[in-house]
Amino acid sequence: VRGEVRRKAFLMVLGVGFDAAVIRHFRSRRIIRSGWLAYVLSVFQELRRVKPLSLNGEIDGAPFNACAPFFAAGLGRYFGKRMAIAPGSSPSSGTCQLVWAESMSNLDLLSMIPLTYFGAHVKDSRIRTVHARRITLDSDPPAWIEADGELLGKTPLELEIIPDALRFAAKR
């Protein structure tokens, strides 16, 4: 929430924008509240509303600006039902993989969803990725943030990878 400082650790993926809005919609449903169908309905509802966010901040001290419907930071590769949103990430790397889309229509965004199950979305020229340890991010308009499926509030966001804060058993 703007003006309020909250600290939260996450294990897999933190998302800003579209995926957080889907989770917000999914949790607010009054008729169908659980399961795959409710989630898919929430995706389609939010696809009708999603607009690119004007994102700005810093990635490892370098200025960052983008116009994107979503921004994800992955310590792990997967969110949801094994969607490989950050296929180049590893919890043991000491960084997170940042993934965002630029210049993408809502229909293009929909077409990317099946590709994320294979990590193939990152081959699209409109998808950007970079590895980083520290990120500050704000958006216009303010955007919802989720971490591992839990809504955290809205931007601005500061994210820092703290080496050895959590122990993982993972392949390198």
> Quick one: pLDDT at residue 43?
77
138 three-state secondary structure: strand
Place of tokens 């990878």: 161
Which of 5-9, 95-99, 101-105, 111-115 comes out lowest in average pLDDT?
Answer: 5-9
Residue 113 pLDDT = 87
- pLDDT tens by residue, 25-67: 887 765 556 677 777 777 788 888 888 999 999 999 999 999 9
Q: How distant, in Å, are the alpha carbons of 8, 11, 28, 105 from that of 168?
A: 18, 10, 33, 37
CB count within 10 Å of CB 81 equals 8
Angle at the Cα of 83 from the Cα atoms of 78 and 94, rounded to 5 degrees: 25
Evaluate if residue 102 carries a pLDDT over 60. Answer: yes
pLDDT for res 30: 59
Supply the pLDDT for residue 172: 63
Does residue 1 have a pLDDT over 50? no
Conformational region of residue 48, where left means phi above 0, alpha means psi within -120 to 50, and beta covers everything else: alpha
CB crowding 56-72: b at 16 or more within 10 Å, else e: bbebeeeebebebbbbb
pTM above 0.75, yes or no: yes
The pLDDT tens digits for 125-170 are 999 999 999 999 999 999 999 999 888 999 999 999 887 776 656 5
Cα separation, 37 vs 124, in Å, equals: 28
Strands of the 70-74 sheet, one edge to the other: 127-132, 96-101, 70-74, 13-17, 144-147, 150-154
Query: Tokens standing for 119?
Result: 């990590």
DSSP code for 123: G
Length of the chain: 172
Report the amino acid identity of residue 79: F
